[in-house]
Structure 1
Amino acid sequence: MTKKAFSAITIKSVQDERREIEGIASSPALDRVKDRVDPMGLSFDKEVPLLLNHDHASPVGTVQFGTPTRHGLPFKAVIAKVDEPGVVQDRTNEAWHSVKAGLIKGVSIGFRPEEAAPNSSGGLDYTKASVHELSLVAIPCNPEAFISSFKSLGVTASAIEPIPQHTSKAVEASVAAPAPVETKAVASQPVRTAVQINHTNKEVTDMQNTNHNIFIRRLILRAITGGNEAQGAPYAEARWGAASGINKVLKAVQNPMGTDNAGVLAAETLSRDQFVQTVFSTSVLGQLQGLTRVPALARVNVETVPITASFVGEHMPVQAYQGAFGVTLTNQRKVGIITVLSAELIRMSGDAAEALIEAQVRRALSRGLDKAFLGSQARDGVTPTGLGAVASQAASFAEGLEAFTGDLTTASVLVNPLTAVRLRSASETQITAKGGIYCGMPAICSYSVPVGKLFVVDAARVLAFVGAAELDITAEGTFPVDDGTGTVTAVQTGMFQSDQQAIRGLQYADWSFVDGAAFQTTAPVSV
C-alpha cells in the first residue's frame, strides 16, 4: 500500500513553458481513513480547478479527467504559468517546483458525496459522488492517488514513460482520453449520503487536514475573544498561522470587497455544509439507501405504488400521474444540544482538541436525529413522526417481508448493535455491530432501535429535509446539566464559576413517511 502511495516522478524536461501533470486521481483502494471511492461512480465537469492542499482560495491550475475505469480516475492537469510578479505567480511557481523537486508526489480529490455505504473495514464505500476539485498534496488520503509523470513544452507522447506497472493498460490508455462532461454512475451496493473523503489526519497539511475546521475554529475564536471577532485576527494568525482558512475568513469578513474574498467566504460555506453532511451521514437517516431528499416549504407529491412510463403512439395522449401522497416539510424543526466543555480544552491548540470538540457536538446531534427518527411519537409542533409510529407490526421477519409493499431494492434493516451481533450465524456472516448485510439487505445499526427488535424500511418512502447547522458558544449563564445518566440534574452549573464553556448545536431537519414505508418485528436471535 505504501509503495503504491509514493510512485516516483521522472522529470522529462525542464522547459517551463508548459506544466503538465498526469496521474491517477482516485482508485478503488482503501484510503488512510478506511474509505473507498468507486471511480465508476464519479461525475465531474469538463474542467475543474487544480488546488494546492485543498485551499479553495488558492487555485494553481486546471484539471481534465479521462474516462474512469474500475482501476481508477486518470487525469491531466496544467499548472498555470504567470508572467506578472505577485502572489499568484509565487503560488503557481511553488506548486510546480514542489512537483519537480519531488516534495509533492500525490493528489487528492475534493468531492460532494451523493451515495455511500459502510464497509467491513469501518469506513465508507462511496459509490456516487461529484468531483469539484483536485489538489496537489504531500501525502494523499488515497494511497494510490499518485502523479505518474509531468512534462514541459516539446515533450512528445512517445517520450513519456508509461504509468507504473501496478496500474492497468486500461488506465494508461484512458489518461489521454478526452474527459466527458459527466460519467455514468454505477452504484449497485448499499449507499448513503456522506462527507468528503479527506477527514482529519495528522499526516496531511492544515487545509487538507480539517475540511470543516473553519466552522469549528470560528466557534473556538468566539469563545476566546468573547464574541468579538474583529479582535480575533491576531490570535487566529498566532494560533493557526497566516495561511490558515480561518484567518483568511476573518480578513474577508472585515473587508468583504477584497478581490479574493469570494472564494474564501465560499470555503467557509463549504466548511459549514461539510459539518452538516457529517452530522447527517452518521445518522440512520443519512445511511438509508435511496432516501428521497425534498426541499422545505414546498408540497411534494410522491408515488405510493411503482409508476412506470409507457410508449406513446403518434398524436396519442401521454399518461399523467400526480401522486397519491402529498407532504409539506418545514424548515423550522430542529434537534439541539448544549455541550459543556472546559475552558482549558477550548484554549488548547492542536488537532486533537479541535476534533474532540467537533466530535462531541456532531455525535450528540446525530444521535438526536436517530432518537426521533426511530421513536414512536406522533408528529407534533416540535418533533417529526417516529418510524415506530408508522411501521406495521409483523409476527415474524418472513411474514413481514411477505406483506411488505415497499421496494426491497431500496430497503434497509435497522437494528440495535447488540441485536446485530446476535443475528450472526453460519448463513448470516456479513452483519456486525457496525452494520453490514442481513438477508440480502443493507443493515444499519443504532442504539436507538430497541434491543431484540428490527425495522425494515423502504428509503424511497422516506421524505427528508436536511437544513443548516448552527453552533454558538458562551461562558455565561447557568444550566441544569445531564451528567450522562439520562436524567437532568436539579443542580445548576455556572459557566463562569466553573471555568467552562457551553456550546449550543442545532441541526434543522424534518421528515415524513409514505404509507407502507416500514414494518417492525422481533429479531430472530438466540440469546
Structure 2
Amino acid sequence: MQKSFSSIEIKSVQEDRREIEGIASTPTPDRVNDVVEPLGLTFQKETPLLLNHKSDQPVGTVQFGTPTAKGLPFKAKIAKVDEEGVVKQRTDEAWHSVKTRLIRGVSIGFIARATSPLPNGGTRFTKAEVHELSLTAIPANPEAKITGFKALPEVPDSARSTLDLSILPPELAAMYTAGLARREAEQKAAEAARKEQETINTKEENDMQKTNNTNHIFIRGAIAKAVTMEGGAEGYASMRWGAGSKTVEYIKAIASPMTAGVDGSGALTSGTLSRQQFVQAVFSHSILGQLRGVIRVPAMTRVNVENEPTAAAFFGPGVPCPTAQGTFGVHMADKRKIGVTEVISEELARATDEAAEVTISAILQRALSRGLDNAFIGSQTRGEVSPAGLGTVAVKAANFEAGLEVFTGDLTMASVIVNPRTAVALRSPTETQITATGGIYKGLPAIASCAVPLGKLLIVDGSRVLAHIGDVEILALRHADVYTLHGGASPSVPVNMFQTNQVALQAGQYADWDFVDGAAIEVGV
C-alpha cells in the first residue's frame, strides 16, 4: 500500500464530539516527482482513522467528501472513550495532539489501480483506492516533510523503469536517472527512519508495560516482600517498577491504607483484579475449571440440589404454580485451604525481566491446580481438612458400556476424566479425537489429568458437582528454615533460605466442593 502525505487544513473543531473537518490536500508533484490525482481517488463510505499508519492503533473514523482538483475533503471523528485503558490513552493522545498542533498532517494509505511514468522519474497515480487516513506529524522543513512521510514499497529493479532513455535528449535522460537515484536514496532514508521510530516506540511500550502492567501486581507484591521482607518492599518496588507504578501504590495501600493517598483505592482495585486473575488461572487449569456444568456456589451456604432433573410446567389461573425442590442438605465451607511452599532461587526473584514474573506465577498456579486435581480425584472422605474425592463417591463399573448403563446423571453435562497415558492408549481407528490433552471419547468431552490412576476412567456429571473457589494468599519467606526440601540432607534437617540464596513462597488457595448422589462412575479400560 502506498501513502501520500499532506498537511491538515482544519476548517472547524467540535470539542464535545471530537470532530475535525478539513481538506487533505495532495502534494502535486511531491519531492520524488510523484503525482496523485485527487479526482481519481475512490473510497468507502466510512474509512478507519489511524495513528501513524499503524493498523493496530485505530483512533476513529473518517468520511471523505467529493474530491476536487485542490484535494480530498474529509470529516474525521476521534473516538471519545470513557473507560480507562489503552484505547482511552491512545484516542486522548490523538485528540490533544491535533488540538495543540503537535500533529499537523494527514496521510492517505491507498492501493494504486492505474499509473503512468513521468519523464522526470516520478509516477502519476491516476486511479487509486483509499483504505485509511492517518494522523501524522509533519516537520516544518519542507525537505524533511517528504522524506519523513513518503514510504513507498520497494520496487524491483526490473520494474523501476519502462522508459527507453535512448529516445530522450541527454539532459532529460540525466534528469530521469538522477530522479531514480534520489528516489532510491529517499526510500532508504525513510525506511531507516521508520525502523528507528519503531525501535523507540517498542522501547517506550516495553517500559510502560514494565511500569504499569496491572496483570502482575499481585505477584509483584509477593516478589518485593520475598526479596526484602516487609520493611523494604515499597522501596524495592519503587526501584524496580518505578515510584509511580501501580505495584508501589498497591504495596502502600496494603501496608498502610490510611496513608496510601488518593491512588490507594484504585491500587487496591487493581490488586484485587490481579489476584482474581491468578485465582482464575488456577481454577481454569484444574479439572474443576474444565468440567462443564459445574455449579459454582458461595461459601457457607446450603444448596438445594436435584436427585432427578426437574422441569417447569404450564399452569392456569387460580391453580398453584408447580413446585420442584431438590434434596436439602449439601453444605459448603470456606475454611478448607490447599497450599504449597515453593522454593525458588533468589536470582529468579530479582530478575527484572517480566518473564520471571510469569514464571513464578506459573510455578505457583500449576502447583495449586495439580493439588486441586489430586484431591478431586482422590479416595479421601470429606473431613475437616479436605473435601471428599471422586474415588469415594464414584460407582464402580467393569467397562465403559456398563458404566453408561448405571449412570444416573445428565449425559448432556457429563465429561470423561482420564490419565493422559490412558487417553493415548484409547486411540483407535474409531476413536481418533482423544489425545493426551483431552478431546472427545465415545461422544463425551474428555479431560486429561495425571491425577487419574492409569487404566481408570471417570464419567462425571458436572451439574452434580458444587464447587466454591475462594481467594488466594501468597506469603514470602526470606529468612525461613524449610524442612522436607527436595535435595536436602534429610527431612528433619532444615534448609535456611537466606544462607542458600533461596526464597520460599507459600501459596494458599481456599476451595471446597461436594457431590450430589450419582455424580460419577469409575470404569476400567
Q: TM-score, normalised by structure 1?
A: 0.61
The answer as to whether partners of 1:335 and 1:509 remain within 8 angstroms in 2 is yes
Aligned to 1:343: 346
Local SS of the residue matching 1:297: coil
Task: Kindly report which structure 2 residues correspond to 1:305-320, keeping only aligned pairs within 5 A, or say none.
Answer: 305-320=308-323
Q: Distance in 2 between matches of 1:436 and 1:424?
A: 11
- How far the C-alpha of 1:16 sits from its partner, in A, is 6.1
- How far the C-alpha of 1:482 sits from its partner, in A, is 4.2
Aligned to 1:492: 494
- How far the C-alpha of 1:219 sits from its partner, in A, is 0.5
Q: Distance in 2 between matches of 1:12 and 1:472?
A: 60
- How far the C-alpha of 1:97 sits from its partner, in A, is 5.9
The answer as to whether partners of 1:20 and 1:78 remain within 8 angstroms in 2 is no
Residues 326 and 354 (structure 1 numbering): CA distance in 2 closer, same or farther, change over 3 Å?
A: same
Name the one with the larger helix percent. Answer: 2
Q: Does 1:232 align with 2:233?
A: yes
Q: Distance in 2 between matches of 1:503 and 1:260?
A: 28
Q: 1:357 aligns with which of 343, 356, 360?
A: 360
Q: Deviations over 1:40-98 (max 9, x none)?
A: xxxxxxxxxxxxxxxxxxxxx99xxxxxxxxxxxxx952469xxxxxxx9997436468
Task: Kindly report which structure 2 residues correspond to 1:361-510, keeping only aligned pairs within 5 A, or say none.
Answer: 361-483=364-486, 489-510=491-512
- RCO comparison, higher one (Cα < 8 Å, 6+): 1
Aligned to 1:94: 93
Q: Distance in 2 between matches of 1:303 and 1:208?
A: 50
Residues 444 and 148 (structure 1 numbering): CA distance in 2 closer, same or farther, change over 3 Å?
A: farther
Residues 77 and 453 (structure 1 numbering): CA distance in 2 closer, same or farther, change over 3 Å?
A: farther
Q: Deviations over 1:310-349 (max 9, x none)?
A: 0111010112222124211111101111111122221221
Residues 90 and 208 (structure 1 numbering): CA distance in 2 closer, same or farther, change over 3 Å?
A: closer
Q: Distance in 1 between matches of 2:374 and 2:380?
A: 10
Aligned to 1:32: none
Q: Distance in 2 between matches of 1:427 and 1:208?
A: 53
- Identify which range, 12-21 or 308-317, moves more after superposition: 12-21
Larger Rg computed on CA atoms: 2
CA-based RMSD of the aligned residues comes to: 3.6
- How far the C-alpha of 1:304 sits from its partner, in A, is 1.0
Structure 1 unaligned residues grouped into runs of 5+? 4-10, 22-60, 63-75, 82-88, 102-146, 152-201
Residues 80 and 436 (structure 1 numbering): CA distance in 2 closer, same or farther, change over 3 Å?
A: closer
Q: Deviations over 1:211-267 (max 9, x none)?
A: 531011000111222212xx4334323211345320232354555574443222111
Q: 1:512 aligns with which of 511, 514, 523?
A: 514
The answer as to whether partners of 1:301 and 1:322 remain within 8 angstroms in 2 is yes
The answer as to whether partners of 1:207 and 1:244 remain within 8 angstroms in 2 is no
- How far the C-alpha of 1:423 sits from its partner, in A, is 1.5
Structure 2 unaligned residues grouped into runs of 5+? 2-7, 21-58, 61-77, 104-130, 136-204
- How far the C-alpha of 1:149 sits from its partner, in A, is 8.1
Task: Kindly report which structure 2 residues correspond to 1:143-222, keeping only aligned pairs within 5 A, or say none.
Answer: 206=209, 212-222=215-225
Q: How many residues align?
A: 358
Between the aligned residues of both structures, percent identity stands at 49
Aligned to 1:165: none
Q: Distance in 1 between matches of 2:454 and 2:367?
A: 21
Q: Distance in 2 between matches of 1:268 and 1:373?
A: 29
Task: Kindly report which structure 2 residues correspond to 1:237-276, keeping only aligned pairs within 5 A, or say none.
Answer: 237-253=238-254, 254=256, 258-276=261-279
Q: Distance in 2 between matches of 1:279 and 1:80?
A: 32
Local SS of the residue matching 2:374: helix
Aligned to 2:107: none
Q: Distance in 1 between matches of 2:295 and 2:262?
A: 39
Q: Does 1:303 align with 2:306?
A: yes
Q: Distance in 1 between matches of 2:518 and 2:371?
A: 25
- How far the C-alpha of 1:497 sits from its partner, in A, is 2.2
- How far the C-alpha of 1:432 sits from its partner, in A, is 1.3
The answer as to whether partners of 1:325 and 1:514 remain within 8 angstroms in 2 is no
